[in-house]
Amino acid sequence: MPMSVKLDDILSTLDSEFPQAQARLLEFLRIPSISTDPAHRGDVRAAAEWLCAELVGLGFDASIRDTPGHPMVVAHSPKGTRRPVLFYGHYDVQPVDPLELWTSPPFEPAIENTPAGPVIRGRGASDDKGQLMTFVEAFRAWKAVHGALPTDLVLLFEGEEESGSPSLRPFLRENADELRAGIAMICDTSMYADGRPAITTQLRGLLGQEITIRAADRDLHSGSFGGLAANPIQLLVNALASMKDATGRITLPGFYDGVPELTDELRADWQALGFDAADFLLRVGLKHPIGEKGRTALEMVWNRPTFEINGITGGYTGEGFKTVLPAEARAKVSFRLTGTQDPETILQAFHAHIRAAIPADCTVEFHGHGASPASRMNISDPAFAAAKQALSEEWGREAAYIGAGGSIPIAGDFKEILGMDSMLIGFARDDDRIHSPNEKYDLQSFAKGARSWARILAALT
Amino acid sequence: MPMSVKLDDILSTLDSEFPQAQARLLEFLRIPSISTDPAHRGDVRAAAEWLCAELVGLGFDASIRDTPGHPMVVAHSPKGTRRPVLFYGHYDVQPVDPLELWTSPPFEPAIENTPAGPVIRGRGASDDKGQLMTFVEAFRAWKAVHGALPTDLVLLFEGEEESGSPSLRPFLRENADELRAGIAMICDTSMYADGRPAITTQLRGLLGQEITIRAADRDLHSGSFGGLAANPIQLLVNALASMKDATGRITLPGFYDGVPELTDELRADWQALGFDAADFLLRVGLKHPIGEKGRTALEMVWNRPTFEINGITGGYTGEGFKTVLPAEARAKVSFRLTGTQDPETILQAFHAHIRAAIPADCTVEFHGHGASPASRMNISDPAFAAAKQALSEEWGREAAYIGAGGSIPIAGDFKEILGMDSMLIGFARDDDRIHSPNEKYDLQSFAKGARSWARILAALT
């Protein structure tokens, strides 16, 4: 840490000003900024304006930037000699239905004592207004102590994250020079487990496809045609079953090209997490991990590619029975990708596999549902070690590098469009009920989250 | 034919009285006896009463017999020394929607000239009131010529055929002694092709099953669980794909036990039909017969068992995409059975096959949708040769023994409950549009159908 940074003073300020920080977050949470609901369009803008005003008040050069959808809030601290850092969060929230399951009104947030400690209850408390405000409160305390903001900060807060971020990629492209930084901080994830801070350093990519197989030009009666006419459900089922061999490996030629083995460093970090696969499965009513032999559970979900059938439909599926040979059958499937697996190469191999299973008088049609490669951050960037150290000091536990089995598109977008890695650091808990009734954010997450960012800001120069 | 039967006079009477026969059928067709629609309950009964009155007028001991659903009409001619013959048909009809597709009101039947000849247009004209009346007009002409009905006839006309015949089997059981005959005549099928009369001598059986495979106790996110948690769609797909080998043979152990090879007699009859599989498939937009190698197309649909997936569903199937690992997946499947294949044995083998594909922490649930063995008539019974000869004479073309790929449950019910074979002889055409708007019955089918039954009655002693 540069000798000039008064970290202890900043942390003390955060502690002493915490009641005011809570009040600000409650005010922010009272704005029902549901981005998917056109009736709340004005509320979404109001949340952007509230946030922008906060940032202007702190000395940021902040503005509301219109998009075809909901606006972005972009802010810059004064230019200096620090390595530029972008901070990303979102100020929109999920819908609240079913409303009757809330124990208190979702937009009348309050501090509530629970057996596990005090929480802030309300829609958006965890996802993502509470987390976003951990950034803002850290900046505020820094300003209070130093009389000026840290230099070279770029803030990007969007209002469409819960609606699929349709404006984000165009906005990044159009404002790439303005937004590009050395690294991005994303505060929209959870801690690894209660009390253990984590930095997500790799995310699986996603390749989604819909397949429609068509045989006869109408539904047929299986009494008249069964045994003679192709059944598109059987064709689909055969094609999908042969995607994996008996050991669970995906059979597409070249599929595993670019799939990396774990480094010793990450293997050790993941081992230390003490992940209990049996318990993880038991919580959803299962006992036996499936997938490739000889891989640990965390490897399977974080570092190995998968093929999953996410939906399938064909023929008669209502009550009772119909002896139909349907005209078509459909499936939605997805691959999770790791390392440098190329979505386009895999797409071509998948299409060839399916086509090879279809007779000449039947057809198959493909429809894409996204294709993004895996994200792997360069953890030899000293910022990672610095942030890990800062998190470990704040939480009193060794922070971990972890993976994520899912895709967080913003990280891929930053990499692809702005050429920068992201650090995904979040303080949400698994029981925060994000997207569900009675969302909450632990007061501890809010307090120590802001303190964590103060430490990270101090550690990055 | 017994010397005493005046067949020529009967046929002449049928011809000369044909205008009156048409008028009677039109009257019968005006009764909207839709059995599936509770609003037409009274009409169904009215049709039963109309038919019963016709039979009483001809000298039958006829009565309406109530059931928990719609009534049966049962009639007996005087006892004599002939081998008893049961005649079966149904007086209920299909619903008429979509009504706007009818070119004339479905229950205002009329004779209509078409390029292919005159037809009777109206709901039930072919299925089955017109066909049923071919019996009645033959009996009437016989009575007119001989002054008495043929002896030893048992007539059974039901009013629930289009609603799945829920009362039929209980009624057969409760009245078995009264209804049992030497053979049954069923007039509810089509000619093999325009102008070629046929007797269906074998029907495939049907075993229907619904499978539900359950894995986790809730839908999972494929990012968090993909690669680790069992996917019930994949399990289902694997289990169904392995039901057949690469040559199209069904892999269940013992599945082909009891599947007969064609006799030389039937092979010759079927060969003579000149069935054009390529044309048959082309009409529904296909080109290539599938199924076991080395089997003719008619063998595949009439004499070989099949396994078909009739419906499948699981996961997300709406617009767009969801990266879900669903909690369950379902399929409806059916086997068509031939020869003496035992539905229960096959059911057990099928259950064992599916269970073997399911991990110990997942479950499978089966739900039955019918299990009936194949029907094969004993064509060495002289009645078959007699009827075949009579049909050949009436139509001026060699009648054929044919098979049916579908199941006609009534034939199996007669065999199982009353111990008698059935002759399925019908005069409908493939273009009669049964169950569809603008149903019709060729006037030629009605006229020559009645003449055919007169010849068959004369040939049976």
| pLDDT tens track for A184-200 | 999 999 999 868 999 99
Q: CB A317 to CB B306 under 8 A? A: no
Residues of A in contact with B407 (CB under 8 A): 223
> How would DSSP label each residue in A271-306?
HHTT--HHHHHHTTT-----SSTT--HHIIIIIS-E
Does the beta carbon of A279 lie under 8 angstroms from any beta carbon of chain B? no
- Rounded mean pLDDT, B185-196: 88
Q: What percent of chain A has pLDDT over 70?
A: 99
Quick check: A1 pLDDT over 70? no
Task: Measure CB to CB from residue B311 to each of A227, A310, A316 and give the nearest one.
Answer: A316
Distance separating alpha carbons of residues B127 and B432, to the nearest angstrom? 9
Helix ranges (H only) for A333-372 are 343-356
Q: CB A308 to CB B217 under 8 A? A: no
Does the beta carbon of B259 lie under 8 angstroms from any beta carbon of chain A? no
- Rounded mean pLDDT, B224-247: 94
DSSP summary character for residue A39: G
H helices then E strands: how many in chain B? Answer: 15, 18
- Rounded mean pLDDT, B217-229: 88
Does the beta carbon of A306 lie under 8 angstroms from any beta carbon of chain B? yes
- Rounded mean pLDDT, B121-148: 97
Q: CB B229 to CB A204 under 8 A? A: no
Residue A442 vs residue A323, higher pLDDT: A442
Check residue B195 and give its pLDDT.
79
Classify residue A247 as exposed, middle or buried by CB count within 10 Å of its CB (0-12, 13-18, 19+). Answer: exposed
Q: CB B310 to CB A332 under 8 A? A: no
Question: What confidence tens digit (pLDDT) does each residue in B11-29 have?
Answer: 999 999 999 999 999 999 9
Mutation target vs B (from A210, A249, A312; most B CBs, 10 A cutoff) = A312
Task: Measure CB to CB from residue B306 to each of A227, A230, A362 and give the nearest one.
Answer: A227
Does the beta carbon of A221 lie under 8 angstroms from any beta carbon of chain B? yes
Residues of A in contact with B222 (CB under 8 A): 306, 308, 310, 334, 336, 405-406
Check residue B409 and give its pLDDT.
84
Does the beta carbon of A353 lie under 8 angstroms from any beta carbon of chain B? no
* Confidence band for A28, pLDDT divided at 50, 70 and 90: very high
Q: Which CATH number is B7-203+374-459 given?
A: 3.40.630.10
Quick check: B360 pLDDT over 80? yes
Distance separating alpha carbons of residues B351 and B364, to the nearest angstrom? 9
Burial of A397-420, coded b for 16+ CB within 10 Å and e otherwise, reads eebbbbbbbbbbbbbbbbbebbeb
B446 vs chain A: nearest CA distance in angstroms? 25
Q: Which residues are bridge partners to A314 per DSSP? A: A329, B312
Question: What confidence tens digit (pLDDT) does each residue in B250-281 have?
Answer: 999 999 999 999 999 899 999 999 999 999 99
Does the beta carbon of A310 lie under 8 angstroms from any beta carbon of chain B? yes
Check residue B374 and give its pLDDT.
94
Quick check: A3 pLDDT over 70? no
Distance separating alpha carbons of residues A59 and A75, to the nearest angstrom? 10
B413 vs chain A: nearest CA distance in angstroms? 18
Question: What confidence tens digit (pLDDT) does each residue in A199-241 have?
Answer: 999 999 999 999 999 999 989 988 888 889 999 999 999 999 9
Check residue B293 and give its pLDDT.
81
Distance separating alpha carbons of residues B451 and B445, to the nearest angstrom? 10
Where exactly does CATH 3.40.630.10 map onto chain A? 7-203+375-459
- Rounded mean pLDDT, B316-327: 90
* Confidence band for B221, pLDDT divided at 50, 70 and 90: confident
Quick check: B36 pLDDT over 80? yes
Q: CB A311 to CB B309 under 8 A? A: no
Q: CB A284 to CB B217 under 8 A? A: yes
Where exactly does CATH 3.40.630.10 map onto chain B? 7-203+374-459
Q: Distances in Å between the alpha carbon of A395 and those of A114, A453, B147, B212?
A: 21, 12, 108, 47
What is the ipTM, given to two decimal places? 0.86
Q: CB A223 to CB B204 under 8 A? A: yes
Check residue A221 and give its pLDDT.
87
Quick check: B3 pLDDT over 60? no
Quick check: A2 pLDDT over 70? no
Residues of A in contact with B219 (CB under 8 A): none
Quick check: B62 pLDDT over 70? yes
- Report which residue type is found at B295: R
Topology of the domain covering A205-259+305-372? Alpha-Beta Plaits (3.30.70)
* Confidence band for A313, pLDDT divided at 50, 70 and 90: very high
Q: Which of residues 381-440 of A touch B (CB under 8 A)?
A: 404-407
- Rounded mean pLDDT, A428-448: 94
Quick check: B1 pLDDT over 70? no
Residues of A in contact with B360 (CB under 8 A): 287-288
Task: Measure CB to CB from residue A315 to each of B225, B281, B310 and give the nearest one.
Answer: B310
Residues of A in contact with B319 (CB under 8 A): none
Q: Which of residues 284-303 of B touch A (CB under 8 A)?
A: 284-292, 297, 300-301
- In three-state secondary structure terms, A26 is helix
- Rounded mean pLDDT, A379-404: 96
Quick check: B54 pLDDT over 80? yes
Q: Distances in Å between the alpha carbon of A437 and those of A99, A429, B322, B417?
A: 7, 15, 21, 59
Where exactly does CATH 3.30.70.360 map onto chain A? 205-259+305-372
Residues of A in contact with B315 (CB under 8 A): 309-312, 332
Residues of A in contact with B341 (CB under 8 A): none
Quick check: B2 pLDDT over 80? no
Does the beta carbon of A361 lie under 8 angstroms from any beta carbon of chain B? yes
Quick check: B78 pLDDT over 80? yes
Question: What confidence tens digit (pLDDT) does each residue in A92-128 have?
Answer: 999 998 899 999 999 999 999 999 999 999 999 999 9
Decide yes or no: CATH 3.40.630.10 for domain A7-203+375-459: yes
Instruction: Nearest chain B residue to A330 by CA: give it.
Output: B317
Check residue B439 and give its pLDDT.
95
Does the beta carbon of B217 lie under 8 angstroms from any beta carbon of chain A? yes
- Rounded mean pLDDT, B361-375: 94
Check residue A5 and give its pLDDT.
85
Quick check: B41 pLDDT over 60? yes
- Report which residue type is found at B353: H
Distance separating alpha carbons of residues B28 and B47, to the nearest angstrom? 7
Q: CB B210 to CB A321 under 8 A? A: yes
